[in-house]
Amino acid sequence: MVQPDTPRSAIESEAAFFGEVDREPLTPVRRVVAERMAASWRDIPQVTEFDEIDLEPLERLRQRLADESGKAGVRLTWLPFILKACARVLAAHPALNAAFDSQTGALILKRYVNLGVAVDTPAGLMRPVIKGIADLGWLEIARRLAALSVAARDQRLPYSDMEGASFSVTSLGRLGGTGFTPLVFPPETAILGIARASRRIVPEAGGIASRLRLPLALTYDHRAVDGAGAGRFLTELAGCLQQPEPLAV
């Protein structure tokens, strides 16, 4: 609530002219996010490419491994497999797993894959980082993702678990939306957005079928990556997720 002696800004004064208003200051986390996203939009020429995958094979894999995950105390979603697939495909696309150095006009290509995963918390958006993910199995990824998400929501995530990302993933999960355009976290060069899965009627074998489909959106820094490179990454990622058995290790 605004204190009586707190001066109003021009925007607040204009809004208050038409009726009562309240001022809600940004939380420290939300303020940092706001500043970084403004810098991202201002400084990075970004393009988003969209794709959609058949999720049925990945869902069958998730169901098959759900009991094993449950015994380990982890609720299994599609996300650990998507993260593992990203790590595998990024190895062949180093420009998407890099930092853009605007001072030298060079790409800093990273030989490791640390994935930042956006998490919605009461304090605002946080992005814990799963480090060395290329060397982790699906169950360990699921464990770390669950632990980091809980720590973020409980506001006890140390800064060391929020630094060092080389690529980011953000998922709307069940919140809604058929697609969106995520913004790159500088100095990273790309981010993958995952929208809500839904059933679609699609052509299949001369007829039609109901299939579970998942929309993907890849936003990239056009200084570092061109459309062809981004398209190849999305195509290979889709192929990996639609033939997911190698991810079950």
Tell me which residues are annotated as active site: 222
CB 208 within 8 A of CB 202: yes
User: In 36-144, which ranges are E strands?
Assistant: 46-54, 98-101, 106-109, 115-117, 119-121, 124-126, 129-130
In Å, how far from its chain's centre is CA 120? 11
170 strand-pairing partners: 193
Nearest to 118 by CA among 170, 58, 189, 174: 170
Pairing between strand 46-54 and 207-221? antiparallel
SS3 198: strand
Distance of CA 95 to the CA centre of its chain: 18
Give the containing element (helix H, strand E) for 220. Answer: strand 207-221
Q: Which helix (H) or strand (E) holds 138?
A: helix 138-153
Contact residues for 57 (Cβ-Cβ < 8 A; gap 6+): 241, 242, 243, 244
Distance between terminal CA atoms of the chain?
A: 52
Fill in the amino acid letter for 158: P
* Helix 227-242 and helix 79-90, axial crossing angle in degrees, nearest 10: 130
